[in-house]
Amino acid sequence: MNIDGLGEFGLIERIREGEGALPRGIMGIGDDCAVLPQRKGYKTLVSTDLLMEGVHFLLEDIDPYSLGWKSAAVNLSDIAAMGGRPLGSFLAFALPKALDSKWMDDFFRGYRAVSGLCSAPLLGGDTTSSLDRLCICVTVLGECEDGHEVLRSGARPSDKICVSGTLGDSAGGLKLILGGLSREGAGERLIERHYRPVPRVAEGQRIAACGATSMMDISDGIGSDLRHITRASGVGAVVRVKDLPLSEELLSQSALYGWNARGLAIDGGEDYELLFTMPSDALRNLDIPYTEIGEIVPGEDILWEGASSQEHKGFRHF
């Protein structure tokens, strides 16, 4: 059945039924607003992201499970980037009438899989039809202890610059998709990194607790994302390009297709790893896997030590 037959309320009912029990004291889908308790000594974190067909994803290529996953994941990643604990999400979408209910069910399986991983139930949203493209807007709510939110503006000279995970995999995956290249073996892993990024929620909380001075998630590539930290903090940076963490999969596919793996790690977007700064004595206590890639320095310039170019823009919409 296509969703036109299900109707707006039929679809909302289906979404509501698919949600499990909510944590005590939280009211989700079904009324005019969701209702959440307010905790003393905590701050609320809120963030919204829009995913537009043709701009952020190609409906012909991405499977509905991955699209549901990615819609929730890129938003939950913003809560992770503050060192916060996710509380829930809101999903508003404009749906082309031709989508069928199987497509919707698969979308929600993906959405719930990552929401479940992050303990962030779907608490509400809005549903309309679209004359043309599919548009998905997700809002996430989270919380953190008052004063423990990690901003972009706290980096200080001599802090170490670090990242979680590996960089460039998602960009490699996108190259395989757009180039119609093999999706076997290492390729499969890169495409998974592109379609199903894992929000680093637990890592973000550990990094915050350990005393990070600044943090953000890497959505456009560190080439432009690190700029956000240095500008907000009024500092410069030196990045050792040879120390950027690259996966075996990205290295093998880069060797095969002649890609510049380090270039992808700098300018390729959508890794959704965490980029953070921390004084070196605090860093010694950090008990999650991370890679130190450079240092904050006085000034305002970023030196990409060992890079073929100093011009790094990352992904831009305009």
The tokens of 148 are what?
A: 């423990």
Residue 135 CB, shortest distance to ligand ADP, in Å, is 12
Of 59 and 288, nearer to ligand ADP (C-beta) is: 59
Here's the x/- map for Mg ion, 99-128, by CB under 5 A: it reads as ---------------------------x--
- Please state, in angstroms and rounded to a whole number, the distance separating the CA atoms of residues 153 and 155: 6
Q: For ligand ADP, which residue of 5, 10, 23, 30 counts as binding (CB under 6 A)?
A: 30
- Please state, in angstroms and rounded to a whole number, the distance separating the CA atoms of residues 46 and 29: 18
Q: Which amino acid is at 279?
A: P
- Please state, in angstroms and rounded to a whole number, the distance separating the CA atoms of residues 160 and 235: 13
The tokens of 77 are what?
A: 């990643």
Residue 19 CB, shortest distance to ligand ADP, in Å, is 8
Look at residue 91 and give the partner it binds from ligand ADP, Mg ion, none, a contact being a CB closer than 5 to 8 Å depending on partner kind.
ligand ADP
Q: What are phi and psi of 261, to 5 degrees?
A: -60, -40
The tokens of 112 are what?
A: 């719930």
Q: For ligand ADP, which residue of 2, 6, 12, 188 counts as binding (CB under 6 A)?
A: 12
- Please state, in angstroms and rounded to a whole number, the distance separating the CA atoms of residues 297 and 154: 13
Give CA angle at 233 (228, 239), nearest 5°.
65
Q: For ligand ADP, which residue of 17, 25, 31, 258 counts as binding (CB under 6 A)?
A: 31
Q: Does 252 bind ligand ADP (CB under 6 A)?
A: no
Angle between helices 101-117 and 64-80 (to 10 degrees): 30
Q: What are phi and psi of 152, to 5 degrees?
A: -85, -10
> Taking contact as CB under 6 A, which single stretch among the options 44-52, 118-126, 255-263, 283-291 is the one that binds ligand ADP?
118-126
- Please state, in angstroms and rounded to a whole number, the distance separating the CA atoms of residues 222 and 270: 10
Look at residue 125 and give the partner it binds from Mg ion, ligand ADP, none, a contact being a CB closer than 5 to 8 Å depending on partner kind.
ligand ADP
Residue 30 CB, shortest distance to ligand ADP, in Å, is 5
Number of DSSP helices (H) and strands (E) in the chain, helices first? 10, 10
Of 94 and 278, nearer to Mg ion (C-beta) is: 94
Site for Mg ion in 168-227 (CB under 5 A): none
Q: Which amino acid is at 131?
A: L
Count of positions on this chain that bind ligand ADP (CB under 6 A): 13
- Please state, in angstroms and rounded to a whole number, the distance separating the CA atoms of residues 182 and 76: 30
Site for ligand ADP in 68-107 (CB under 6 A): 91, 93
305 CB-side CA count, 13 A: 10
> Taking contact as CB under 6 A, which single stretch among the options 25-33, 96-104, 131-139, 231-239 is the one that binds ligand ADP?
25-33
Nearest Cα neighbor of 246 from 262, 235, 227, 258 is 262
Look at residue 15 and give the partner it binds from Mg ion, ligand ADP, none, a contact being a CB closer than 5 to 8 Å depending on partner kind.
ligand ADP
Residue nearest Mg ion (C-beta atom) = 126
> Taking contact as CB under 6 A, which single stretch among the options 41-49, 124-132, 156-164, 226-234 is the one that binds ligand ADP?
124-132
DSSP, collapsed to helix, strand or coil, labels residue 88 as: strand
Look at residue 29 and give the partner it binds from Mg ion, ligand ADP, none, a contact being a CB closer than 5 to 8 Å depending on partner kind.
ligand ADP
Look at residue 130 and give the partner it binds from ligand ADP, Mg ion, none, a contact being a CB closer than 5 to 8 Å depending on partner kind.
none
Residues in touch with ligand ADP (CB under 6 A) = 12, 15, 29-32, 91, 93, 122, 124-127
Residues in touch with Mg ion (CB under 5 A) = 126
